[in-house]
């Protein structure tokens, strides 16, 4: 039998995502009530600009006093979609203290202070859900946290930022340079006026921290994630990738060490073979490839941003949290029992593609090969071309540590025959 007294929901933020959450709660209210077992009522909406017209939302629900809203005491669930660290962090902890569970889409806050927020939820015996914080509409956190809870996840490899994927896909398919592709993304609304968080990898790094923490049952903070942006990727890099049967993606990579004793989390551009499923992810879409002992290889794909897709993930969490409230239980909290150390980037082992500008004369290849050998980096393939005294030398290595490769490149720069290092890119997905 359905309970007639509604569960009350406070919405913090009513922008692109928040307005879609409110719309779906209204238009799908009967379905949501049937799935939950009780009606859900939008009890208040906290905003910064109260005078803005918000279609479908009763103006009487709108307030600028978010603190008073979460302190009301009759709120069952707070939905936080304002983003940023503060005031979101204080509002969430205040909500717990005043009896509400929380659904958040705040990747930056979860990545930075997830442990403290989980502790606050536990102390007040409330839920903290955040499916929408990573990869938009794609169900990813719940499968990692629940469906694969009995398995051992070894690797999570994914495209988790739609803006960067759109830009790199445009560069790949049209031959455009980085700035040209960025301008197109901005014109179409895929890139913000200030795209720094996306193109420099900050957004993806926050998501990588969350994914690594859940996958490896270890606390991984944003500061633990190695981050490199994609602003230096060129059309020449894509030409080199195509010659290798690859494309280039900005990847979030979370790995368990072969001996199981540590983990790594990193974000950077990488070449991946065209045969890999992630190579075919086009436009602003996201996809995450998960490798585990028992389940094997799994891929999650879909729209990674946008109001309606992200609101879909928020509403999924809202339904789960409301069911828990009715049943008197709680969903899964933080699982950090493994407490594995996070290894530095220097310990990461992968393949590398290095493009060198060299003098076009005898003995250059031998000099370069000697430097690689002296630093313990094995060469897989070499391709050389040039004329009129200048040449390009492309070296693809076998797997080597980042530290070893760094020492190799430093030594190469000291050779008289090496004019410069045109590019260095990791090769993943093999």
Contacts of 341 (CB under 8 A, 6+ apart): 261, 262, 263
Closest-CA residue to 80 (of 100, 105, 59, 97):
105
207 is an active site residue? yes
**199 CB-side CA count, 13 A:** 21
Question: Out of 8, 207, 242, 361, which one is annotated catalytic?
Answer: 207
Joined together, the tokens standing for residue 29 give: 């209210």
Joined together, the tokens standing for residue 289 give: 């490839």
Cα distance between residue 418 and residue 411, in whole Å: 10
HEC profile for the chain?
CCCCCCEEEEEECCCHHHHHHHHHHHHCHHHHHHHHCCCEEEEEEECCCCCCCCCCCCHHHEECCHHHHHCCCCCCEEEECCCCCCCHHHHHHHHHHCCCEEEECCHHHHHHHHHHHHHHHHHCCCCEECHHHCCCCCCCHHHHHHHCCCCCEEEEEEECCHHHHHHHHHHHHHCCCHHHHHHHHHHCCCCCCCCHHHHCCHHHHHHHHHHHHHHHCCCCCHHHCEECCCCCCCHHHHHHHHHCCEEEEEEEEEEECCCCCCEEEEEEEEEEECCCHHHHCCCCEEEEEEEECCCEEEEEEEECCCHHHHHHHHHHHHHHHHHHHHHCCCCCCCCCCCCCCECCHHHCEEEEEEEEEEECCCCHHHHHHHHHHHCCCCEEEEEEEEECCEEEEEEEECCEEHHHHHHHHHHHCCCCCEEEEEEEEEECCC
Chain mean position to CA 374: 37
Per the listing, tokens 């150390």 go with: 341
Query: Are 148 and 295 in contact, with CB atoms under 8 Å apart?
Result: yes
Query: Are 252 and 267 in contact, with CB atoms under 8 Å apart?
Result: yes
The catalytic residues are: 207
């Amino acid at each position: 039998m359905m309970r007639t007294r509604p569960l009350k929901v406070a919405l913090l933020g009513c922008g692109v995502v928040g307005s879609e959450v409110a719309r779906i709660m209204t238009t799908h209210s009967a379905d949501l009530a049937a799935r939950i077992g009780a009606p859900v009522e939008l009890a208040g909406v906290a905003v910064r600009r109260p005078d803005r017209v918000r279609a479908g939302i009763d103006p009487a629900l709108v307030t600028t006093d978010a603190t008073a809203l979460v302190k009301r005491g009759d709120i069952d669930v707070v939905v936080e979609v304002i983003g940023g660290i503060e005031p979101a962090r204080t509002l969430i902890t205040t909500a717990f203290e005043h009896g509400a569970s929380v659904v958040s889409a705040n990747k930056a806050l979860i990545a930075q202070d997830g442990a403290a927020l989980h502790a606050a939820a536990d102390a007040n015996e409330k839920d903290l859900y955040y499916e929408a914080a990573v990869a938009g509409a794609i169900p990813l956190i719940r499968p990692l946290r629940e469906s694969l809870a009995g398995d051992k996840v070894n690797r999570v490899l994914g495209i988790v930022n739609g803006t960067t994927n759109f830009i790199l896909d445009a560069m790949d398919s049209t031959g455009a340079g980085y700035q040209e592709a960025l301008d197109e993304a901005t014109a179409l609304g895929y890139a913000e006026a200030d795209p720094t968080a996306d193109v420099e990898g900050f957004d993806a790094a926050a998501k990588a921290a969350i994914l690594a923490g859940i996958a490896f049952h270890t606390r991984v903070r944003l500061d633990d994630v190695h981050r490199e942006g994609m602003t230096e990727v060129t059309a020449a890099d894509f030409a080199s990738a195509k010659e290798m049967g690859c494309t280039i993606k900005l990847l979030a990579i979370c790995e368990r060490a072969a001996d199981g004793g540590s983990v790594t989390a990193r974000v950077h551009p990488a070449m991946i073979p065209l045969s890999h499923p992630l190579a075919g992810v086009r436009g602003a879409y996201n996809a995450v490839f998960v490798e585990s002992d028992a389940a094997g290889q799994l891929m999650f794909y879909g729209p990674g941003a946008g109001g309606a897709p992200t609101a879909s993930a928020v509403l999924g969490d809202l339904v789960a949290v409301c069911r828990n409230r009715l049943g008197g239980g709680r969903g899964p909290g933080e699982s950090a029992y493994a407490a594995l150390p996070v290894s530095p980037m220097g310990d990461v082992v992968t393949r590398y593609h290095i493009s060198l500008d060299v003098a076009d004369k005898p003995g250059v290849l031998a000099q370069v090969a000697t430097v690689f050998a002296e630093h313990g980096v094995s060469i897989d393939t070499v391709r050389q071309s040039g004329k009129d005294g200048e040449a390009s030398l492309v070296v693809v290595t076998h797997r080597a540590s980042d530290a070893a490769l760094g020492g190799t490149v430093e030594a190469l720069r000291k050779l008289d025959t090496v004019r410069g290092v045109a590019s260095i890119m990791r090769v993943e997905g093999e």
